[in-house]
Structure 1
Amino acid sequence: MKSTATDNAPKQHTVSVWRNQNFLLLWGSQTVNETGARISGVAIPLLATSQLGASTFEVSAITALTWLPFLVFSLPAGVVVDRLPRRRLMIFCDLARMALIASLPIGALFGAATLTQVYVVVTATGILTVFFNVAFRTQLPGIVEDTQLVEGNGHLSMGQSVAKLVGPAAGGVLAGAIGALRTVLANGAAFLVSACLLGLIRTPEQHPTATGAAPRPTFTAAVREGLGFVVRHPVLRPLLACSSAINFFFMAMTGLQVVYLVDDLEASPSMVGVVFSLGMAGGAVAGIFAGRIARRIGTARIAWVSLLAAGPLCLPIPFARPGWGISLFAIGLTVISISQVLYNTAETSYRQQVCPPELLARTNASVLWVAFGVIPFGALFGGAVASAFGIRTALTVCVLGMWASPLFLLFSPLRTIRNIPIENPGK
């Protein structure tokens, strides 16, 4: 296993990942994929309400079924991804999702679409998304040099932020211009484009096997091995705790944001859109410069520095007032987005560097299972605190919780590590 304590920064000049054609294809696949998913997040509920007469509860069920597979299938997905050719699995997931999504408008055109079909499609698509995401997170180390991991992950985070910014807006505009049916078809086309881009990548297919002659472990043992590696690792364990705390309190805050902006800050719908757009734009900019910022501060140290530095600028969020006070909320949300992109870049890069290749998919799956598994509980927590003590109190708890999350890192070996350990800087 690679050392977790080395503190040597890479000495040689690092060539930009933008000059790597395979990285460009991977980045394009992810950005198109994420944008399509954000479009479907708008278009499918619109299709359900406009064509199938779905109620508010039924639309909420669609959202819940989209997230449920992350909790149920993440750990098994890690084992499957570690045993199959990963890129071919990703292409299969893209093509299968395209077919599933396309079945909705086709069924609606023939008057055969039902809410049951929508539930089945979003659940099956969610399962495929879990497998795709686990496999995707193993791809970068095989495409770029070890010294390019931070920059590469930063640009991938930038692509995600762009998708979050553009996707919902594009979904709404397209649904208004060409209708929800055609918009859902456009989402299916995005998965096809993603599959084509993945097929053009020209690096050896990754299908790692463990070293030595030991027999392949059983499915259950393989799951335990991946989860156990994370839990026993002195740095990955506190990183997982930190990520889970961030997700918990951020999702608690996310469920309250629109209500707070509209009811307490008297923001118009257009102003709400501007505030969220600023937040996503901040994340996109952070992704562009993540590599440079991390090299200056430390590719490992940036994980906790970015979160601690964001706290003071986020504290005014619960104290914003109507009018110009909305800017306090906008600034805080933008800072949160920037800090999370910088943190996620460092956290993902560290995991990719220290995990053995034959365990990477399972460790990625373990992180997804825990860090994403807390999301629904965070949303419920935010609503419960707001109902009992008021929305400003709930937001205060959320902001303080996010600010306290790097304490897991400050009381871990990561506090003394400046840079992510690099075993093969010239790979």
Structure 2
Amino acid sequence: MGSSSATEPSPPPESGPPAPAPPDRGSVPLRRHRPLLLLVIEQLTSSVGPQVTALALPLLAIAHLNAGPLGASTLMAMTYLPGVVLSPLIGVAVDRTRLRRLLVTTTWVQVPVIGSVTFAAASDGLTWPHLLAAAAVSGTLNSTQSVALQSCLPRVVPSEQLLPANTSLAGARTIGLIGGPALGGILIGIIDPAPALLVECAAYVIGGGLFLALPMALNRSVNDADANPKSRIDALREGLAVIRRETLLRRQALAAAGLNLGGGAGSGLFILYADRELGLPNWQLGAVYAAYAVGMGTGVLVATAATRALGMARAIQVCALGAGAALFLIPAASLGLAFPVLVLYELLFGLMATVWSIAMVTGRQLITPPHLLGRVNSFLQAVLTATLPVGAFAGGWLASRVGIVPVLIGAAAVALAGASSLWFPRDLLADVERAAEKS
């Protein structure tokens, strides 16, 4: 990936079919923007359910199938692996199909998938193939919905409002991520894990109804104007060509890979490190995780103002670098004052990573042609999804040989190196700045 590609000309306007006119665009304030409000409520609802399931599925595997470490790890991997493998096809499907119908279908199909686990466990008929298949199908549907949502937003929100709109969706997801585990713990403590899964089923029923209320115009494909539809292979090549051409997208993938490899290694070792190396009591460990939620919430609150003050290009660069540098605070905690140092890490990382993610997604939506957005989103999502478990596995393997602290230092260095790629060459983000100025 040479830096010279930053100077390549942009594709001519006729290189792709024009996107249909988005519904409800204009000067409507976001607080009264009906499609965005529907998406925000859906994200708030749907982000709670999977957090309950994240606790319930492993507990079901332990209680009903006597799962050990390998079984629990395999179950987690099956929620991610199919989405990564199928991501190119998911991107093509999102670009070619009717978005509203796709969102409704992928959401409502989750109900029988997750519900079948509840009924199988209740009748003592739960098996490993059933549980793994449910995890794989549910994970694939989640990946498809995530890509479709990122492609949907630019079609219902004007480009000049994409940044605050993405911030609103991130805020809704953050609330779910904070409240979901607590709700899951309470429910599972009161009832069996199997009935607790019905909470997610209810969330999917509500979410599908909210998607169904989105404008009908989303069912008009952006590729309707293409008289000679391409084969799937040609469609994949077209999506990859955008990533090769746009330096920002390539460097986004590189930065995300570095941050997730380093972050995955750090996350995989974090509890073991805090317990065995630092001797943190449970209440301090809980407070450390709470600090991350505070950092995320603060990031949501300041993302729009900070990105506009710094400029989108500079916000992407600064926040990615800050998130990577914050990882060095994890091994630094072994030098003393472990509790306040780890609290500071969680606050800084939660803040920087949240602002970076919002600015990065907005920049991607601004510079990617609408008819290719699904493919670009799916490729980059695959990078983000795949590198986390790879980092966690590599970190655990290395820590068993050289110790936890050296691996944590190396993980932070990998994350910082990935984030640093956004700074070279200096005009790397000129494309996104031009797109932001046009909006």
TM-score by length of 1: 0.91
Superposed displacement of residue 141, structure 1? 0.6
Aligned to 1:332: 345
2:132 to 111, 115, 119: 119
Aligned to 2:318: 305
1:138 partner amino acid = S
Task: Classify 1:183/1:256 alpha carbon distance in 2 versus 1 (closer, same or farther; 3 Å).
Answer: same
Aligned to 1:358: 371
1:187 partner amino acid = E
Aligned to 1:374: 387
Task: Classify 1:420/1:16 alpha carbon distance in 2 versus 1 (closer, same or farther; 3 Å).
Answer: farther
Aligned to 1:94: 107
2:363, 2:152 → 1: CA distance? Answer: 14
Q: % of aligned pairs identical?
A: 27
1:271, 1:16 → 2: CA distance? Answer: 42
Q: How does 1:173-252 map to 2 (within 5 A)?
A: 173-202=186-215, 204-210=217-223, 215-252=228-265
Aligned to 2:121: 108
Structure 1 moving runs of 4+ over 6 Å: none
1:304 partner amino acid = Q
Q: Size of the alignment, in residue pairs? A: 416
Task: Classify 1:344/1:16 alpha carbon distance in 2 versus 1 (closer, same or farther; 3 Å).
Answer: farther
2:296 to 267, 277, 283: 283
Aligned to 1:414: 428
2:307 to 289, 294, 308: 294
Aligned to 1:161: 174
Task: Classify 1:313/1:111 alpha carbon distance in 2 versus 1 (closer, same or farther; 3 Å).
Answer: closer
2:89, 2:255 → 1: CA distance? Answer: 23
CA contact (8 A) 1:249 1:401 kept: yes
Deviations 1:195-231 (A, max 9, x none): 1111222362154334865511111111121122112
The yes-or-no answer on 1:53 pairing with 2:53 is no
1:120, 1:268 → 2: CA distance? Answer: 38
The yes-or-no answer on 1:39 pairing with 2:52 is yes
The yes-or-no answer on 1:72 pairing with 2:66 is no
Aligned to 1:389: 402
1:341, 1:417 → 2: CA distance? Answer: 22
1:107 partner amino acid = A
CA contact (8 A) 2:296 2:350 kept: yes
1:14, 1:300 → 2: CA distance? Answer: 25
2:11, 2:207 → 1: CA distance? Answer: 33
Moved more, 132-141 or 303-312: 303-312
TM-score by length of 2: 0.88
1:401, 1:309 → 2: CA distance? Answer: 13
Aligned to 1:129: 142
Superposed displacement of residue 309, structure 1? 3.8
Give RMSD over aligned pairs.
Answer: 2.4
Task: Classify 1:175/1:328 alpha carbon distance in 2 versus 1 (closer, same or farther; 3 Å).
Answer: same
1:130, 1:324 → 2: CA distance? Answer: 40
Unpaired runs of 5+ residues, structure 1, are 4-12
Aligned to 1:140: 153
SS at match of 2:217: coil
CA contact (8 A) 1:314 1:333 kept: no
Superposed displacement of residue 312, structure 1? 5.4
Superposed displacement of residue 135, structure 1? 0.7
2:341, 2:168 → 1: CA distance? Answer: 28
1:306, 1:179 → 2: CA distance? Answer: 42
Deviations 1:109-168 (A, max 9, x none): 222222221111111111211211111111111121111111111222222222222222
Moved more, 356-365 or 52-61: 52-61
Deviations 1:301-359 (A, max 9, x none): 20011133455554332121498421201211221121111111111111111111110
CA contact (8 A) 2:91 2:377 kept: yes
2:325, 2:436 → 1: CA distance? Answer: 33
Task: Classify 1:403/1:420 alpha carbon distance in 2 versus 1 (closer, same or farther; 3 Å).
Answer: farther
